[in-house]
Structures are given as C-alpha cells and as structure tokens.
C-alpha cells in the first residue's frame, strides 16, 4: 500500500503495548472511532501531495472529510500542522485522527465488483491502459461511492501503486491510462500537461457523433473555456466571452462521415480542458448526440427510442512515448458495439452524404 503502520504506537504515548494496535493501513476504512493512527511514509510515496496520499490510503472516506481534518490540524506531519498541498517524504511520520466512515466498506466493494468489467488494452511494469465503459466514473466522489480506480485496486490487492494518469468523463468510454510506478505517473502527468503536437506530449483522438450537417473536412477550433456553477452547485463549462477570462483551448476536428441530420467526427485534443470537446461542439451549434449537459435536450429524449442510450463520445486512439523507456506507443480502444449498432441504424434511415462508416 506504500504506507507502514508503526507498531506499538497509538499517537497518544510513544511506547504502548503492541496489543493496542487496532488497525492496519491496508484496511483504513475500518479505523476505530477511538484510536489515532501513525503512518510511516515509504520511499515509493516520496513527493506525493498530502491530500492525494491521504485519499489513497483512507479508502471510502469522503474527500470533504479528509480536507476538513487537514484544515483543522488533526492531521500532523512529524508532529506539525500541515497543508493539503505539502509533499510527503520518505521517513515522514503522519498522524491520522480517528475516522468514521458513514458508508459501509462492504457496500463500496460490492459496487466495485459489479462494475469491475474493465478490459485491459495494454500493461507492463510501469503503466496500465484500460477500455473504460460509459457510465462509470474514473474515481469515487460527488455522490459516487466507487469508480474505475477503486474497482482496479479491489481486483489487484497486491498492487503497491496504482493511480490515474488522466481523467475521462463518466459518460465517455474508451482509453484510460494509469501509472503503476510513481516515476511513470509523474512522466505521464508531464506529457498530458504538454498537450498534443508539442515535444513529448500525448496525441489523443476521440470519436463523436454530433447533431447537424458538419461541412468542413478539417477545422481548428480555438475557443477559451471557463468554469462556472449552476444554482444547484453543479459544475459547468462555457466558452469565455473574453479571452482573458478563460483558459486557451484547442481542438482539431476531422469529418469522417455525414448523414442528413448527423455527422461523425474525429477530435484531436491539443489541450485537455474539462468538457473541452463537448463545449466546443455545443458552442458551434453541433452538440454531441446524447450529451445530457450540453446537448440538444429535445433530441436527446428521442434518441433512446432510436437505439442510442448514451452520449456518443469515445476516447479512441492515443500515441505517446513510453514514460520510462521512451519507446513510441500507439494504443486504440475499439468503438463499443452499442455505438456501432446506432451507426448502422442511422445508415439504414438516412442517406450517407459524405465519407464512410468504417470499422473503428
């Protein structure tokens, strides 16, 4: 797990009988409400942010609770107060207060097992690439008790290290990379930040079906994006009215096929902003079919009857240098069968005006 409990220590006196040890770090979700835990940080975890380190070892504990105990000073690093952004080092001693988990760990595990069908596309000693199904979050939180990372950790209890290298929206399917070593994860994070088409950046391609007749074979879209909150508190993204108010965002769209009322596109992400493809398409008047946040809501209500019961957005291809060896890699997640079927239904009902429906 990358953390070692200090035997004989409860956090109240430094030399107490070993019989007073009540938990192990591998079962942090079962922490007693009456005991403090001291954790010895290992070399494998050196350099990790404190909040991320705690969220990993305190499985099942809500993020809000983890941040609260940091802010309140209940979490101590080498006996001192600590900030969420501080980095842990090999040999650090971390004090974790008693933690009560509202949701039973058994429920989280049961959910993870139900959703644990995660096809592996590539794996070696440093990285893991899976084909994420639509409808599964990449991690728990915001009302979701489990996600891909929790399911994988449940499947691989022997794994010393397993972390997400990037994110996919819950409604999006396709290629998802994880790091199995901290050095590999750090290199992957650098590559994703660098973006496509620049040095050692990652070339990410998506397949999407938009509503409307897209005419340009190739189109560069550079529209700055900014985040905002609805009255409900839910996060949304929009194109910034002033370029200075948003983050630069660049998507390259290529037309693959066009019917009378829909178009199939490839999207290349040059930047990786939240909901970037979805918001760019919606702003241009071509919302993604089935997009419940930015889509054509009236059309979305009709699509399930026609055979499309999810958002048509799939993380299709990825080219990158291996984070440790530097070897060039090309990964691909085939288009899900449900999306294939809808394209066949569409071709049977509408005239194909441009391109072809090839095997993806």
**Three-state DSSP state, 38:** strand
End-to-end CA distance of the chain: 38
Q: Are 272 and 279 spatial neighbours (Cβ–Cβ below 8 Å)?
A: no
Q: CA-CA distance, 360 to 340, in Å (whole number)?
A: 8
**Three-state DSSP state, 61:** coil
- What is the helix (H) or strand (E) element at residue 171, kind and residue range? none
Name the residues annotated as catalytic. 169
Structure-token pair, residue 62 = 């809500």
Q: Please state at what angle helix 63-71 crosses helix 50-57, rounded to 10 degrees.
A: 130
Beta bridge partners of 39: 5, 94
DSSP state of 29: G
Q: Are 176 and 166 spatial neighbours (Cβ–Cβ below 8 Å)?
A: yes
């Amino acid at each position: 797990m990358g953390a070692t409990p200090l035997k004989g220590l409860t956090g109240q006196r430094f030399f107490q009988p070993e019989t007073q040890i009540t938990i192990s770090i591998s079962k942090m979700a079962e922490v007693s409400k009456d005991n403090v835990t001291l954790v010895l940080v290992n070399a494998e975890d050196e350099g990790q942010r404190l909040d991320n380190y705690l969220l990993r070892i305190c499985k099942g504990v809500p993020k809000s609770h983890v941040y609260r105990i940091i802010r309140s000073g209940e979490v101590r690093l080498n006996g001192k107060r600590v900030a969420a952004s501080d980095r842990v080092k090999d040999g650090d001693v971390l004090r974790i207060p008693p933690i009560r988990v509202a949701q039973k760990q058994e429920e989280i595990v049961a959910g993870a097992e139900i959703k644990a069908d995660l096809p592996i596309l590539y794996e070696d000693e440093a990285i893991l690439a899976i084909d994420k199904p639509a409808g599964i979050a990449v991690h728990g939180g915001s009302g979701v008790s489990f996600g891909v990372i929790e399911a994988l950790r449940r499947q691989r209890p022997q794994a010393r290290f397993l972390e997400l290298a990037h994110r996919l929206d819950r409604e999006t399917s396709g290629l998802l990379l994880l790091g199995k070593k901290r050095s590999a994860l750090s290199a992957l994070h650098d590559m994703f930040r660098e973006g496509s088409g620049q040095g050692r950046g990652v070339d990410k391609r998506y397949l999407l079906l938009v509503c409307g007749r897209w005419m340009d074979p190739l189109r560069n879209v550079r529209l700055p994006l900014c985040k905002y909150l609805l009255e409900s508190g839910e996060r949304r993204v929009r194109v910034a009215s002033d370029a200075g108010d948003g983050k630069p965002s660049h998507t390259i769209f290529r037309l693959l096929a066009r019917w009378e009322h829909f178009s199939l596109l490839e999207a290349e992400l040059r930047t990786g902003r939240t909901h970037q493809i979805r918001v760019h398409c919606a702003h241009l008047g071509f919302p993604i079919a089935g997009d419940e946040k930015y889509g054509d809501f009236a059309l979305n209500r009709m699509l399930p009857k026609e055979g499309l019961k999810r958002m048509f957005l799939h993380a299709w291809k990825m080219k990158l240098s291996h984070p440790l060896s530097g070897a060039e890699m090309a990964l691909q997640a085939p288009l899900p069968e449900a999306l294939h079927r809808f394209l066949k239904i569409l071709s049977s009902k509408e005239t194909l005006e441009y391109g072809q429906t090839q095997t993806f």
